[in-house]
Amino acid sequence: MSNTEPNTNHKWWNEAVIYQIYPRSFQDSNGDGEGDLKGITSRLEYVRDLGVDAIWLSPFYTSPNKDGGYDIADPRNVDPRFGTIADAKELFEKAHSLGLRVLVDIVPNHFSTEHVWFKEALNSPAGSAARNRFHFYDGKDANTPPNNWISLFGGPSWTQVSDGQWYLHLFDSSQPDLNWENPEVMADFEKTIRFWLDLGADGFRIDVAHGLAKEDLHTDHYDPQGLSDALRLDVLMEVERRNSYLAKIPFFDRDGVHEIYKEWRKIFDSYGDRDIMAVAEVWVHPPKRATLYVRPDELHQFFNFDVMNAPFDSKYLYKIISDMLQLVKEQSAWPTWCLSNHDSERVASRIGADAARAMALFIFGLPGSAYVFNGQELGLPSGEMADSDRQDPIYFRTNGTQMGRDGARVPLPWSGEKAPFGFTIGKPWLPLQDSWKEFTVEAEDRDPDSSLNLYRKALKIRKEQIVGSGEITWTNTDGLLSYKRGKIEVIINISDSAKPISGKVLLSSRPVTDLLPPATAVWLLA
């Protein structure tokens, strides 16, 4: 079977490799134990030398930090823990000088309770214009919220205020959902979009892009806890069960969201030849629904989480990848591929270190953009820590029954033999394990067979010999999943035994002979 690339004018982001930086965990420049913008700027040569095309910065805006910065109090300013507006501009300028584009997070589903709008809402009466910027409603009775929805972070998705009304928060109670039927909300986000584009950003990653339009706010769900779990990337769930929940969600993927992005697209296009790009975090089912977000007058890309959550199974991987290639082709769009992010268990922990290396080679050969989460290139597993060190609100809102996302957010190890491995001279905000000395950039840099050097080699070959190739042709036999793209054949062994291969080896995730070991991928010159 073959899949062809979409027929569209080539843009920088069509087949870019984009490196996600979680600012708090990347590099600390001032010894306070938290990463910051100056720290990122100091490490940009490392990012460039990895071979990526762009960086994506998770939030660094003014925030009380109840949810890792995704609770934003001022979306047009830098939180002092990360630096200043001048530091952000310096970061953008240096990235550009190194040939790197910059995407920044934008969080349109909610603000922080510390945002001036919400403070105004609390000091205003029911039915006021200030409250209409959010979702304030009377309850079913004095002690019962409008519906039984469960927050994605655990517990009710409604919080009662002093006058008896309730406000909606699909995440933490510190993150009240915005009412996108209010034109003030659209106008304010246009200001935010233009602010960061004018400062030098090249585009946006849109958080919870499918969540802005709401329906049935007074209707109970038949299994609110099951739905909440299904919407969490860090909660394991059988695929079909998860998909059954995702098929209809009253607060996600409603048709009204598309009118919002049509307006945003007009803003992006007004910047002319700068090729502004926006990638949407969409978590929907069936996958065809996601392609609606990349129609020609809406956004440019959406995250495809199917591979990130897929079992290490050849038939399953073939189906979800080939299906996605066909779906985006129908919209003349390009796919995205990712194995980890700040909300999920690190891929090396989820499927194993060898399989993680193999899957990286496998997706790097595919048409479309690849997103790499900082530390993924080092083969980092999810961090372990005492419960007393955890900070994720999920852990606290579920009374410790769910560990949350802290493990994926442990700071990067850069150098040395002991924690914190050059990340900070202070106490890191999340602990690094002493066992991570083998994962430092310093250690892996001098090891030709390290995960880091595998990524460097792969991205170099990808750019020189794979990007821009034409038709992709698949083979799926005897536990081997393979495809040919241009002059390169990509093969991954997902069986339990070594399999014979033939051809000139350009790169492999582990040493190979004429046999391809299990959990190993290889690039052959076809």
Helix, strand, coil content of the chain in percent (nearest 5): 35, 15, 50
The answer to whether the beta carbons of residues 459 and 54 sit under 8 Å apart is no
Rounded CA separation 410/430 (Å): 6
Between the CA of residue 479 and those of 245, 308, 519, what are the distances in Å? 31, 20, 10
The answer to whether the beta carbons of residues 201 and 193 sit under 8 Å apart is no
- Using DSSP's 3-state secondary structure scheme, residue 470 falls into coil
Map tokens 């938290």 to a residue: 34
Map tokens 């992010």 to a residue: 341
How many other CB atoms are found less than 10 A from the CB of residue 195?
Answer: 14
User: Is residue 514 flagged as an active site residue?
Assistant: no
The answer to whether the beta carbons of residues 522 and 508 sit under 8 Å apart is yes
Q: Would you list the DSSP string of 24-47?
A: GGT--SSSSSS--HHHHHHTHHHH
Rounded CA separation 147/68 (Å): 27
**Residue-wise burial string across 91-111, b where 16 or more C-beta atoms lie within 10 A, e elsewhere:** bbebbeeeebbbbbbbbbbbb
483 beta partners:
474, 490
- Using DSSP's 3-state secondary structure scheme, residue 460 falls into helix
What is the 3 state secondary structure string of 392-417?
CHHHHHCCCCCCCCHHHHCCCCCCCC
Burial class (CB in 10 A: 0-12, 13-18, 19+), 431: middle
The answer to whether the beta carbons of residues 382 and 399 sit under 8 Å apart is no
Q: Which residues contact 418 (CB under 8 A, 6 or more apart)?
A: 434, 437
User: Is residue 87 flagged as an active site residue?
Assistant: no
* Catalytic annotation, pick one of 105, 202, 281, 392: 281
Structure tokens at 126: 């029911």
* Catalytic annotation, pick one of 207, 229, 306, 377: 207
Closest CA to 170 of 109, 256, 121: 109
Catalytically active residues are 207, 281
